[in-house]
Amino acid sequence: MESSIRSGSPQPPLFKAIASSTRQIYQLLKCISFTAKVHVQITQDGIRFAADHSRVMQGVAFLDKELFTTYTLNLAENEDGALPQFQVNLAAFLEALQIFGASDLAAKQAKAEAEPYRSNLRNYRPDAFSHQTLGVPGTCCLLYEEDGSPLSIIMEETGVKTRCNMVTYTPEQPDDIPFARDDLAFKIIMHSKWLLDSLSELAPMSPTKMTISASPDAPFLALSSSGALGSASVDFTSGRDLLDTFTIETKWSQSFKFDLVKSATEAMRVASKVSFRGDGQGVLSLQFMVEVEGGTTSFLDFRFVPYIAQDDDDDDDDDEMDSDESRGEFS
């Protein structure tokens, strides 16, 4: 093995995983790139990346070991048998994954089109001889030698090999945001596109706060917000069939910071379905099912802590009343 040759040490590394493509890994991790550092925990079933924003929002991406062709975790080397965990800089990690240019073609294209007179070379177009087009296999190897050592990403493509060593930080071990699965107020499963559409309807009013309400009768699910430019609300009164599953215990209404929920939009874009749940304490859980290439499904888990209820009373009750009125006006 290359690592043993390199280090000259006979013992195998603590963790090693090889993937034939970085695309899925990149796609999943990009969804939680709302913080600089992520907490990484390596388990026998896969790698768990958790991002935490001020303890009010949490995003978890789980890379199942099925995404990798080789996945070895040598826990025997570890004295107490604890799972290896550390923190890495996610932006740098993502950068390393796309070092061979599996980057955002869309971003490149947008940049080229913004300045059409800068150059008439359309270099964002897929190149007939690019490795992606030709299907030349590249490999990505994640290597964690021992506790406290850097995390290495070794990328190999057509004879070119790059090794990125990422500094690992001591884990902070943040607790997960508690979500009471046995005290669910409601559970909705729907296409994540509908959730994305709803948020993009609210976004133009540049709101700071959004209110999510679920009720057993119409409008079933309503998202509302009010910002500097005006107020907006989206409801599913006549869109009941858009909600694949709809189970509800009681009427539930909570406010969240709009920008936080918005930072989950990348996940809404790549996912096919979302499980939309709220518990008795008001914590919102969004679980996204992402169907990656090759038929495997991965999950992204987001949790949001609501604003405390007293805060709502001034603005949001007003908003709710407003939207009720406007319903009256239109009907």
Partner 1 sequence: MVLLRFTLSEEGVNALRDALACLNKFSDEVSLEAKRDKLVFTALNSSKSAYAAFSFATNRFFSKYQYEGVAQNREKFFCKLYNRALLSLFRARTGDSLHDPEKGGSVIERCDVAIEDEAGRKSRFMVKIACRNGMTTKYRLPFEVSPPVHAKFDKDEAIHSWCISSKTLRQLMDHFGPGIEYLDIHSDEDATVNLTCFTEKVASGDEVLKKPLHTSIAVEKDEFDSFDVSEDKLHIVVSVKDFRAITNHAVFLGSDVSAQYSIPSRPMQIRYDGDGVKCEFLLMTVGERGAPGQRTRNNRTGERPAPRAQQLESAASRATSKAPTPAPRPTPATRREPMPSLRPIAHRQSQRPPPATLDDDSLFVQQDDDYQWEPVKMNEGEDEEEEGYARLEWDASDRPNPSAIKMSSVIAYQATQRNGPGPVHNEEQDQLMSYLDPTQRLSQARQFGLFYD
**Binding string, 210-249, against partner 1, x = CB under 8 A?**
---------x---------xxxxxxxxxxxxxx-------
Per the structure block, which two tokens stand in for 268? 């809404």
Least separation in angstroms between CB 184 and partner 1: 24
Nearest approach in angstroms of CB 195 to partner 1 is 10
- Does residue 194 belong to the site contacting partner 1 (CB under 8 A)? yes
Residue from 148, 171, 174, 204 touching partner 1 (CB under 8 A): that is 204
Q: What angle do CA 148, 72, 169 make, to 5 degrees?
A: 20
Who contacts 315 (Cβ-Cβ below 8 Å, separation ≥6)?
A: 209, 226
Closest CA to 304 of 29, 60, 85: 60
Q: How far is the CB of 328 from partner 1 (least distance, A)?
A: 11
Indicate left, alpha or beta for 322 from its phi (over 0: left) and psi (-120 to 50: alpha). alpha
- Asked whether 37 and 270 are in contact (CB, 8 A), the reply is no
Q: Which of 37, 108, 163, 193 contacts partner 1 by CB under 8 A?
A: 193
Q: How far is the CB of 191 from partner 1 (least distance, A)?
A: 7
Task: Closer to partner 1 by CB, 219 or 282: give it.
Answer: 219
The interface mask with partner 1, positions 101-120, x = CB under 8 A, is ---------------xxx--
- In the complex with partner 1, the residue whose CB is nearer, 219 or 278, is 219
Helices within the chain (DSSP H only): 2-7, 23-30, 90-97, 105-114, 131-134, 192-202, 258-262, 265-270, 309-330
Q: Distance between CA atoms of 39 and 50, rounded to whole angstroms?
A: 5
Q: Which is nearer to partner 1, 90 or 223 (CB)?
A: 223
- Binding of partner 1 at residue 258 (CB under 8 A)? no
Quick one: which of 290, 292, 267, 270 has its CA closest to 21?
Answer: 292
Binding site for partner 1 (CB under 8 A): 116-118, 191, 193-194, 197-198, 201, 204-205, 219, 229-242, 322-323, 326-327, 329-330
